[in-house]
Structures are given as structure tokens and as C-alpha cells.
Chains A and B, each alone.
Chain A
Amino acid sequence: MKFKTLGFATTLAMAISAHAQAESILNVATAGSENMVEYVNQYLAPKFRELHPDVTVRVIGTGPGDAGSNAIMERLSAQKDAGASADIDVAVVHEKPVGKMVTDGLLAKYAASADTASLVSSDKAKNALGVDVEGYVMPMFQSQTAWAYHPALVSNPPKSYAELSDWVKENPGVFGYNGIRNGMSGVSFVNGWMYAFTGEADKMMKGPFDPSLVGSEKWNAALADLKEFNKNVTFTPGNAGTLDMLNRGEIGIGPVWVDMFYSWQADGRVNPEIKLMLPEPGMPGQPMHYVIPETSKQRDLAVEFIELATSPEVQAHGIVEQFNWYPGIDAKYLESELSADVWDKLFADITPEDLATKSLSFPLVGYFDAILTSYERDVE
């Protein structure tokens, strides 16, 4: 108890010295890259303050990848188990954990009360890997995986998974990815492989979940091919590892997240000459979603915050112009806000037609887990 007092006293002292006393605080937790934290602090928060001068927006980042989203989910679970209300008001999480968060009853169904909900047309806002999440989420941006390659090292990149499979035999070690660990770019590649080599992409993405597909002949053949394929590739330590090695010319081509790729180029960590491409039959992408915890005490403020973040103006100038990411709301609402060259820059390497046909989603949770498990058992 003594320490609690000491703790409170110290926290209070620090709070007084650190912040002007605001009337309320909006807590935002965001998984993903650090620039998403900066985005809230330096772009969204000042805009929100114009609307609500008495509200301070406080943001914490939880780290990249599913681990970061997991941390948010764990936190909300722990609070729910303890009967405490959530101390986060807005969270930005990846697609895979969102389904579980909805089924666990951690999230509020807020979208109906958001003005900008009608601007969202993507299917991914209704269904997250087979789980119905309609009304619980609004996308912040859409991310897509693609193959990045260095034209000097790979002058004529393979255009499809099948071509790649043959290509690596003649060019061993030039393709690099991170397997299924420590980075979703590798996981995305493996999923794309399974789509391409089993031919059951539609079934795996839309369902229904049919357990007989797992372990069937096509399935095992695809995995066997992947095992062969792995003998001629370089393994990288993760998403950043792939970009790193690509940057240093240690690999010539590899799967990357488009948003991460552009951020790295802007930060000077990736050679400006490296290009992107989408292979046949396509590669998965996922949105990052805005969600509101069920027991948040600032629901109305949180909804207003998300309305601001998903407004056409913010999506155009923040998401597209500043970061070069694909918007969360329907792109047609942004055309009036953006100049032609900003728009073209977004689609320089990957055209809207490409995206329309080759941007896939991740498979249903059942297939997703089965792919990972099979990889661990049979390929590694």
C-alpha cells in the first residue's frame, strides 16, 4: 500500500510537470510501424485538437506485426477478466486478430454511428478471414504485399509463381523471404504459393471451410514443391530483413509490404531504384482497422476521432500523400482531393487494374492456421 501511494505521488508529480491539465484524454493504441505513432501525434492529434481543444490525444505504439496487435488484444482481455474498463479508446490493429477480438466480445459495434461509414466499400471491412466483423471496424489503410526487385540484379523478373518456381533453379539464392516467422511478408508469400499451386484460391478465401482440402493431394503436392523451392532461396530475418537484404543487394527479389516499402524508401533505407510488381495469380493484402473497445469510457470522442481519420481529406493528404499507402475508404472519394501526380505516384508500379485482379485476401482462419502448421511440419 505504501508503494501504491508512492507510485501515485510520483505519477501525479510527473503528470503535473509534464502536461498542462487537459479536461479529458483520448487514448489511442496502434500496432504497426512507428510512423503510425508519429502520424497520430503530428498529424491527427493537432487536427483533432482544433475540433476539441480540451481533449489531449495520447498514443502508444505496441510494435510491428501481429505481435503488436496481439499485445493490444491481450491488454483488453486482461482488463475484461479483471472487470476493469478498457483504458484504450481507439485501437489500430491488423486483420487476423480483429476476428478473434470480435468473437471474444472485446469490441464495440460503433460503425453505424460514424458519419464516414458509408465511404467504406471494401469487403474486408465486413469480413475478416471468415469472421463477420461488420460494424466493428473501419479500415485505416489497405496494405498489400508484392514482390520488390532490383532491376540491375533481376532484369526480367518472373511474372508468376509458376515462373518463379523454375526461375530459382537457374538463379539460386537471388530470391529471399523470411519463411513464416517474424514477418507477415513471408506468410503472405506462402499463402500466395498455396493459392497458386492448389488452384483453390477462391475456396480458401471465401469458404466455407472444408477440412478435406487440408492434407489432400493438391495440398501436399504444393507443399512438396515449396520444400524444393526453399532449397534455392535465401532466408531473411523478417519483413525488415527482406528489405535490408534487398537494399544491400544480397538478394535481388523478395516479398514486401507495399506500405513498408514506401516508408523505407522515404526514410532513405531502400535504394530508390527498386521496383514493385504483383505476380499471377496475386498476393494477399490486409487492411489495418480502427476499432473501439467495448468498455471504453470515451466512446463518442473515439467515434469522432475515427470519423476524422477516415474523412476524405485526411485519407487523401495523410494516408495517400504523406505515406503513399492505399486508402481505407473507397478511392473514388479522394480523387477530388488529390492532384494527378500524387495519384499516379501511388500507382506507379502497380496499376489499379493489377490491384483489381491480383489483390487477394488472406485465407479463412481455418486454412490460415492449417497452412502455417503444414509448413512447420512438412516444409521446415
Chain B
Amino acid sequence: MAQATAFYLTGLIMNASRFSGLLLVAPAVLFIAGLFVYPLSYSFIDAFTVAGDAADAGTRFSLANFVLAFELYGDDIVFTVLIVSLSAVLIASGAILIGGYITLGTNRFLVNAVRILYRWPLFIPFIVAAQCMRTFLAKNGLMNGVLIEMGMLTPLETTGFLDWRGIVITFVWKQLPFVALLVTGAMASLDRAGIEAARDLGAGRLRILWQIVVPQVMPTLIVALVLSIVTMMSVLSVPVMISGHSPTMMTVQMAFRVNAYHDYGTANALGVISYLITGLVAWIYLRRGVAGKGGEK
């Protein structure tokens, strides 16, 4: 009897879950819809409109903004994608290594050292990180200056990193703790039994990391990476302050269009392109179902 009631109640809940699910999500979605998507729609529409011709004073639908965006800034779009991808790969590797060491490391002192160390860049906002890196990585900046003082380099041998490498370094420096924090947390919640068993069987720690730990924290890692990619695509301060070269990241061109030409159309077109790129990345991972399956199991 108790079993039947339980079964019945579970059935009720499962059917109600769809509705209650929507209800729970509603406040958050409405908030975003009202406060962001609605103003955003103006920008979206702006991307697809140009001022009308002499005969027609209004605006008309056109892809002209996109054509201009690709014509002038096509190489910047490619540059952005490459930079963000490279940074993501480096961040993922670093986070796995750090998280792996904290979880699997046996020397307590060293593990604690890493645990205290890796978090600090989290608290430094991007603009400050860019500023630090600008005077740190320069040809005659602090890093090279110290190396020269220590006798490891001569002034003629120094190189500056104030180009795409500086941008990648800054992104990795700032985002690595973010991803590492989430990954370490996920690794810490894993069931130790499997790890211990593999260890007792004599498997090396790197092997344990790669074959047992990482697959289990994949969902968290992917989520953290998607968030990092989204953040990196939207940062303006870092490319502005670090690299003067062309090509540069899309955000710089967007700001330039607005500030120099008041050309919101092309700026918004670049924005749409940027959103499509990040949306694509997120979509791929969501479709692979690695973010969890909700009630479908």
C-alpha cells in the first residue's frame, strides 16, 4: 500500500515537474527578458537596419552593416577566435593540472601552497590585470628588468610581449583561477574510492588524473570554459591596453566604431557576430548533453 502511494505520488510529481520547472525558471528568465533582451532587441534591430535612401526617410532592413563589418574587420574576427581558443586550451590544461595536484597530491605542504597560491588573480579586475601586465611584460618592463638585474638576460636580448601573446597571457592569468576553482571543487566532491582503488593497483597519478578524475569533472570543466570564453569575448580593456597592433579583438573595433564614427549599426553587427560565435560554442556543448540531463534520465 505504501509502495503504491509512493509510486502514485512520484508519478504526480514527475508530471507536475514540467510545469513547476517552468515556474521556477520563470522569474530569472523574465528578468533577463525584460531587462536585457528587450533593450538588446534595439541593438539587434539596429544591426540589420541602415538609414533609408533619399526618397524614404525611415530605415530599411539591410545586411550592409554586416558586409562592412566583414570587409573591414574580417581579420579581427578570425584573430579573436584564435586568441580565445588558444587561451581556453591553456586555461583548461592549467586548471586540470592544478585541480589534479590539489586532489591527488600527497605532500601536504605543497598542496596547501598551491591551494593558497592559485586564487589571487581572481580578485583582480581585468582592467587592473591589463595594467599590471602592460608594465610587467614590456620590453623594458618589470619582468625583463628583474631578469637583467639577476644577470639572466642582457638588455639587448629582452623581448616585449605587448602583442597577441600579452593578450593571451593576461586572459590565462585572470581566468585560470576561475576555472581551477570550479574544477577543484568538482574534483573534491568525487568519490575517493575509485581513485584509491586505482592508486592501490599502482596506477600513476597522471594516469589517474586523465582516465578517472577528468572524465568525471568534464561537465563542470566545460561549464567553466564556456563562461570563460564568453567573458574573454566581451572584454575591452585588455586588448585596448596591451596590444597596439592590428588585427585586434572585436570589442576594440566595436568601441572604435561607436566612438569615432557614431556608427552603431556596424558596432551592433559586430556584436551580433560575437554573440553568434559564443552562442555556437555554448550550443555545441549543451547539445552534447554534458551539462546534465535534467529529468530525462
Contact = CB atoms under 8 A, between A and B. Distances in A.
Given A237-B240, A241-B244, A66 B134 contact: no
Given A237-B243, A380-B246, A181 B138 contact: no
Interface stretch (B112-120, B217-225, B259-267): B259-267
A170 B140 CA distance: 23
Query: Which of B160, B241, B244, B260 has the largest number of chain A CB atoms within 10 A?
Result: B244
A248 interface: yes
A377 interface: yes
A250 B160 contact: yes
Contacts, number: 60
Interface residues of A, number: 26
Query: Which of B240, B242, B258, B259 has the largest number of chain A CB atoms within 10 A?
Result: B259
B258 A70 contact: yes
A139 B182 CA distance: 53
A238 B241 contact: yes
B135 interface: yes
Contacts of B139: 248, 250
A327 interface: no
A237 B240 CA distance: 6
Contacts of B246: 179, 181, 235, 380
Contacts of A250: 138-140, 160
Given A181-B256, A372-B260, A376-B72, A237 B242 contact: yes
Contacts of A236: 244
Given A237-B241, A237-B242, A67 B72 contact: no
A92 B146 CA distance: 42
A92 to B, nearest CB: 17
A235 B163 CA distance: 10
B261 to A, nearest CB: 6
A102 to B, nearest CB: 14
Given A237-B134, A244-B135, A372 B244 contact: no
Interface string A176-190: 001111100000000
Nearest to A369: B261
Contacts of A179: 244, 246
B271 interface: no
A100 B259 CA distance: 12
B248 interface: yes
Interface in A330-380: 369, 372, 376-377, 380
B98 interface: no
Interface string B66-88: 00000010000000000000000
Contacts of B162: 237
A100 B134 contact: no
Nearest to A73: B262
Contacts of A157: none
A135 interface: no
Interface in B248-285: 248, 252, 255-256, 258-262
A233 to B, nearest CB: 10
A248 B260 contact: no
Contacts of B160: 250
A158 interface: no
Contacts of B242: 237
Nearest to B242: A237
A318 interface: no
A182 B72 CA distance: 17
A237 B262 contact: no
A306 interface: no
A244 B160 CA distance: 13
A207 interface: no
A121 B279 CA distance: 55
Contacts of B243: 237
A65 interface: yes
B240 A238 contact: yes
A181 B140 contact: no
Interface in A286-305: none
Interface string B146-179: 0000000000000010100000000000000000
B244 A238 contact: yes
B252 A181 contact: yes
A67 B262 CA distance: 10
A372 B260 CA distance: 8
B245 A235 contact: yes
A372 B261 contact: yes
A172 interface: no
A235 B247 CA distance: 12
B141 interface: yes
B140 A377 contact: no
Nearest to B140: A248
Contacts of B260: 66, 180, 369, 372
Given A237-B242, A377-B72, A244 B248 contact: no
A245 B134 CA distance: 10
Given A100-B262, A250-B138, A377-B72, A178 B255 contact: no
A157 B255 CA distance: 34
Contacts of A372: 260-261
A70 B259 contact: yes
Nearest to B71: A377
A322 to B, nearest CB: 26
A277 B252 CA distance: 31
Given A66-B259, A235-B245, A376-B72, A244 B240 contact: no
A244 B134 contact: yes
A369 B261 CA distance: 7
A377 B138 CA distance: 29
Contacts of A377: 72
What are the 7 A-B residue pairs with the smallest beta carbon separation, nearest first? A235-B244, A248-B140, A237-B244, A236-B244, A66-B259, A67-B259, A250-B139
9 contacts: A179-B244, A179-B246, A181-B244, A182-B244, A182-B252, A238-B240, A250-B139, A369-B261, A376-B72
Given A70-B258, A100-B262, 5 more contacts: A65-B259, A181-B244, A237-B162, A244-B138, A250-B138
